[in-house]
C-alpha cells in the first residue's frame, strides 16, 4: 500500500522538512526540487510509485517551506542534508534525481556521497557558471539572466525583486506561473496548461515561499558561485536529460556538464523544453530504481 510520511529532521543545527511517498519497502530515490521549489513539487502519484517499487524522498532545501534558512549555503551542502535524512530513515544506499536548480545539488551527492549513491539523474540542469564562462547566459530568458547576473553584481536588487515575487506568490500561488508563461515556449505552455500539473506547481511555489524568499535567494547565490565539489570526481552512473527547446536553462548547460562527467550519458529530447522534466520523471524513476 502506498503511504505518505512527513517529518522534520536536523542537519547543521537546522530543521529539514521531508516528505516520503510510494512503497515503504521500495528502492529509495531522493528528488531534489527546482528553483524555487519545495518537497511538494510535481511527482507521480503514490500508487504509481508503489507499482514501480519506488520510495520517493523529497525535502525543502534550507530557507524553503518548513526548512530552516542557512544563509551562505553552497551547492555541495546538499550532500550533507541528504546524508542526514538518509541516516534518519536508516537508508545506506539510494539514487538521486535533481530537476532544474536541483540538478547541481544532485550532482553534489553523486560526487560527495559516492559510496551511497547508486545512480544519479539530472533533468534540465544548470552548468557551473565559473567554469562554463561567458556563454552561461546564452539562450536564457531575460528574467533568468537578470536574476542570475544580479547575484554577482547587485545583490540588494536581487533580494528586493525576489521578496516582491514571494509576496505575490503568497497572495496568489499561480502568479509566478503566470509570469513565467510570458517567457515559455509553446512546448512548456502545453505542459503547464494541464490542470493537475498546474495545481501541483502552484502548491509547490506557495509552500516554498510561505516564509519568505530566503531559500530562493540562497539557491540563486549558490548556483552562481563555486559549487564546492569537482564534477570530474563523479564515478557512478549519471543520466543527463534536457529538452532541446529549453530557454530557462538552455541545453548547452547539460552539454557542458556531459563533457565534465566521464560516466554521463546524455538524452536531448527535440520536442521538449524546461517543464518537460515533469513529464519525463516517471521514466527516470524507473531507471533510478533499477540497480
Question: Model confidence over 232-244: pLDDT tens digits?
Answer: 999 999 999 999 9
How much is the average pLDDT of 123-130? 94
- Output b/e per residue, 82-107; b: 16+ Cβ within 10 A: bbbbbeebebeebbbbbbbbbbbbbb
How much is the average pLDDT of 243-269? 97
Beta-bridge mates of residue 232: none
Distance, CA of 122 to CA of 12 (rounded, Å): 25
Distance, CA of 37 to CA of 201 (rounded, Å): 8
How much is the average pLDDT of 139-164? 92
Query: Between residues 234 and 13, which one has the greater pLDDT?
Result: 234
CATH number among 3.40.228.10, 3.40.50.1820, 3.20.20.70, 3.90.1150.10, domain 3-288: 3.40.50.1820
Q: What pLDDT sits at residue 205? A: 96
Of the pLDDT bands very low, low, confident and very high (cuts 50, 70, 90), residue 20 is: very high
Q: Spell out the domain ranges in the chain.
A: 3-288
Of the pLDDT bands very low, low, confident and very high (cuts 50, 70, 90), residue 1 is: low
Q: What pLDDT sits at residue 30? A: 98
Q: Which residues contact 144 (CB under 8 A, 6 or more apart)?
A: 248, 249
pTM of full prediction above 0.85: yes
Read off the C-alpha cell for 193. 496548461
User: DSSP assignment of 171-218, as one string?
Assistant: H-TTHHHHHHHTT--HHHHHHHTSHHHHHHHHHHHHHHTTT-SHHHHH
Q: What pLDDT sits at residue 251? A: 97
Kindly compute the dihedral angle of the four CA atoms of residues 158, 156, 80, 251, in this order, to the nearest 10 degrees: 30
How much is the average pLDDT of 89-108? 98
Torsion sign over Cα 253, 281, 30, 212: positive
Is the pLDDT confidence value at 2 over 60?
Answer: no
Q: What pLDDT sits at residue 34? A: 97
Lowest-pLDDT range, 1-15, 39-53, 116-130, 137-151?
1-15
Amino acid at each position: 500500500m502506498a503511504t505518505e510520511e512527513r517529518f522534520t529532521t536536523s542537519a547543521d543545527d537546522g530543521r529539514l522538512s521531508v516528505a516520503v511517498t510510494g512503497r515503504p519497502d521500495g528502492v529509495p530515490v531522493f528528488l531534489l526540487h527546482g528553483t524555487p521549489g519545495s518537497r511538494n513539487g510535481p511527482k507521480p502519484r503514490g500508487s504509481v510509485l508503489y507499482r514501480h517499487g519506488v520510495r520517493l524522498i523529497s525535502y525543502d532545501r534550507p530557507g524553503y517551506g518548513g526548512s530552516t534558512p542557512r544563509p551562505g549555503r553552497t551547492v555541495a551542502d546538499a550532500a550533507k542534508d541528504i546524508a542526514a535524512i538518509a541516516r534518519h530513515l536508516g537508508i545506506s544506499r539510494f539514487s538521486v534525481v535533481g530537476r532544474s536548480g536541483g540538478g547541481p545539488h544532485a550532482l553534489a551527492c553523486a560526487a560527495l556521497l559516492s559510496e551511497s549513491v547508486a545512480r544519479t539523474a539530472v533533468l534540465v540542469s544548470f552548468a557551473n557558471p565559473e567554469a562554463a564562462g561567458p556563454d552561461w547566459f546564452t539562450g536564457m530568458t531575460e528574467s533568468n539572466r537578470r536574476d542570475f547576473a544580479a547575484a554577482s553584481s547587485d545583490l540588494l536588487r536581487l533580494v528586493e525583486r525576489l521578496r516582491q515575487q514571494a509576496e505575490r506568490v503568497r497572495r496568489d500561488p499561480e502568479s509566478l506561473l503566470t509570469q513565467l508563461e510570458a517567457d515559455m515556449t509553446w512546448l512548456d505552455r502545453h505542459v503547464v496548461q494541464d490542470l493537475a500539473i498546474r495545481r501541483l506547481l502552484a502548491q509547490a511555489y506557495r509552500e516554498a515561499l510561505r516564509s519568505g524568499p530566503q531559500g530562493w535567494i540562497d539557491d540563486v547565490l549558490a548556483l552562481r558561485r563555486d559549487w564546492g565539489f569537482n564534477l570530474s570526481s563523479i564515478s557512478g552512473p549519471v543520466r543527463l536529460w534536457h529538452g532541446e527547446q529549453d530557454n530557462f536553462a538552455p541545453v548547452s548547460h547539460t552539454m557542458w556538464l556531459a563533457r565534465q562527467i566521464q560516466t554521463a550519458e546524455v538524452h536531448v529530447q527535440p520536442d521538449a523544453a524546461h517543464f518537460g522534466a515533469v513529464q519525463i520523471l516517471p521514466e527516470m524513476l524507473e531507471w533510478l530504481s533499477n540497480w
